[in-house]
Chain A
């Protein structure tokens, strides 16, 4: 399967990874090789097979809908690259 540079650009954008224009052709080629490898899956007869949702048959455990944690603002912010006045700080989002 061949992937063009526009597709590579779109995927990089969706993944929120900056890729310079001159790196796109090589990236597209790499995607093409990996997708070519993946395409072997088309040989498998999967008619009537349900896609796996859980590798061990188990129901997700339920618990009471109550607060079990919280009030850890300082710890939550301790590793932030930019935290101010008790908040995570980011570049301006709204004009």
Chain B
């Protein structure tokens, strides 16, 4: 190793970070590394943006790439303004689109909520942090408890607004059913 490289490596602390084993480590129950939550957050945000985009314009490689980049940016450095921007983009796409399908609307009801929850979670989680799965499941249970009436309310609102939900009845039923099952099952995971 050349002198300059060695000096840079030594001063950057990279060698320390890579070689040094941890001196103290907690013993947790069913934990996942923090980076998996960041990846999950990126996926949720990217899918949310993609679904929102699909309501306004046809899906093409460039928008898909933009959605992925947006999801990665929000998940890598979650902050309030980035979350505001992502949700704002979703609202803008739906507003400009001039009427999303019932299935897309119900999916966005769930995805936007999940994205905000995921961003709120990842602001507390560093990449190396170990997170007990029960913490995430408790949070998802809270999301599911809100989603069950929200999905039903969304269907009612769309019907009142004059949308025809007969073509999407199975999709609607499956989304509401999934939210209901999640609300019932996730709290039981505590025991």
Q: Do A and B bind each other?
A: no
Residue numbers of B with Cβ under 8 A of A are none
A residues touching B (Cβ–Cβ < 8 Å)? none
